[in-house]
Structure 1
Amino acid sequence: MFGRLPLSEQLDGLRSALSQNETLTDVMTRAATLELPGWYVTAGCLFQTVWNVATGRPPANGIKDYDIFYFDDSNLSWEAEDAVIKAGKTVFADLPAVVEIRNEARVHLWYEQKFGVPCPPHVSTESAIDCFAATTCCLGVRPEPDGGWRVYAPHGLSDVFNLVVRPNPVVAPQEVYETKTARWKSEWPELTVLPWPN
């Protein structure tokens, strides 16, 4: 499988796998038209598509939503983010999927109230992706104007292809990791879920 191949071949394998999810490729194409600063399609819709392809399931199986992160610290108001979310609702209106758009420059304003721990302000979309509860989730992809894909994968791709979920105890609390991995394990029993460190 791709997890043991050189990185260049893993990137080819990633693109091959993700391209099999037509909803995902449609989301990426449409998201580009919003011209959001520093945007990526990220998280579950990416690695879960790979899991589906690797295990012979339909490519969109078990995917709850499609996350788009962007970073705009020029206006941290809810109104500015909400305007982007509403624009996205128009762009994605006829897609058979839930698309969630979030300005990662604002996360520190609401994170502690939702998750019970503070989140330092992110400095980029990439720094937000770095903070997912599992290293496997730390993945972002967007199409580039030249037809290539920009891939952000700070922990590499081997775990994604090898169906390994590894904790990332940076910001998210243990219960977030355990809740997410319990759902994933029920949907993809082939996963190897590594325990949260003591």
Structure 2
Amino acid sequence: MMDEEAVISMIREDPWMMEILTAAKTLDLPDWWICAGFIRSKIWDSLHHFTERTAIPDIDVIYFDPATMDKLEEKKLEEKLKCRLPDIPWSVKNEARMHIKSHMPAYSSSVDAISKFPETATALGVKLDEANNILLTAPYGISDAIHLKVKPTPFFKKKERMDIYKQRILKKDWRSTWEKLTIYYD
């Protein structure tokens, strides 16, 4: 049975994931995490017994720095990561400003931002601490991810956001890749 320690072990044993985590750590960003598909896809690939990694469109590195909310700073950080690992599709975002783009209330931290992601199975983040231990954050736990359930987070269960969740599910079409998924629409 998969649990948080098993997820952490899976990541620790994956040289590609560890190289990405190590690269992101070198930026020394405040309240940083790699989140969303980076972890979710690893879990779902494992539970589907895939021997090849499913391609993900980007590696989401988030951080929280209200002192520097310039979008150009994020692009500079992406360039630093591209110099280190040029074949990785980096996406760096300062969650201190992302609420503006998303038309949401201001976030208080990166973990608060993760808690406002559309799906519980995507509301996951990992990073390395000072001793290079893997830390996992999962505001709604990992149960939905490891039981292959796609559900809206409480934030997206609100009527005004449910359509965004539903459109995202249609656009992502995850069941075409991971057929064992169960998608919930309420």
Normalized against structure 1, the TM-score is what? 0.83
Match of 2:49 in 1: 56
Q: Against the structure 1 CA distance between its residues 18 and 179, is the aligned structure 2 distance closer, same or farther, given a 3 Å change threshold?
A: farther
Matched, 1:33 2:18: no
| Structure 1 outlier segments of 4+, above 6 Å | none
- Write the letter of the residue equivalent to 1:86: E
- Structure-2 separation of matches of 1:13 and 1:189: 22
Code of the aligned partner of 2:84: V
Instruction: Measure, in 1, the Cα distance between the counterparts of 2:129 and 2:10.
Output: 18
Aligned length: 181
Match of 1:189 among 158, 179, 186: 179
Structure 1 position 100 matched with structure 2 position 88: no
Equivalent in the alignment of 1:44: 37
Q: Percent identity?
A: 27
Query: Please, which runs of 5 or more residues in structure 1 have no aligned partner?
Result: 3-9, 112-117
Alpha-carbon distance in 2 for matches of 1:55, 1:80: 38
Residues in 2 aligned to 1:159 and 1:59: alpha-carbon distance in whole angstroms: 23
Q: Relative to 1, partners in 2 of residues 1:59 and 1:36: Cα closer, same or farther, differing over 3 Å?
A: farther
Deviations 1:157-178 (A, max 9, x none): 1111111111115158334322
**Aligned with 1:130 (options 85, 100, 115):** 115
Q: Residue 174 in 1 paired to residue 162 in 2?
A: yes
Rounded Cα–Cα distance in structure 1 between residues aligned with 2:38 and 2:52 = 10
Aligned residue for 2:127, secondary structure, equals strand
| 1:141 lines up with 2:126 in the alignment | yes
* Change beyond 3 A, Cα 1:188–1:179: farther
Question: 1:20 & 1:191 partners in 2: Cα distance?
Answer: 25
Cα deviation, 1:118-151, whole Å, max 9, x if unaligned, reads 2111111111101100111111110112232111
Kindly indicate whether the alpha-carbon contact (under 8 Å) linking 2:75 and 2:92 is maintained by their aligned counterparts in 1: no
1:139 to 1:51, Cα distance in 2 relative to 1, 3 A: same
Does 2:73 correspond to 1:73?
no
Q: How big is the alpha-carbon RMSD for the aligned residues of Structure 1 and Structure 2?
A: 1.9
**Matched residues in 1 for 2:140 and 2:149: separation?**
12
Give distance in 2, aligned partners of 1:175 and 1:19: 36
Query: Where in structure 2 are there 5+ consecutive unaligned residues?
Result: none
Q: Is the 8 A contact 1:21 1:59 kept in 2?
A: no
Question: SS state of the match for residue 61, structure 2?
Answer: strand
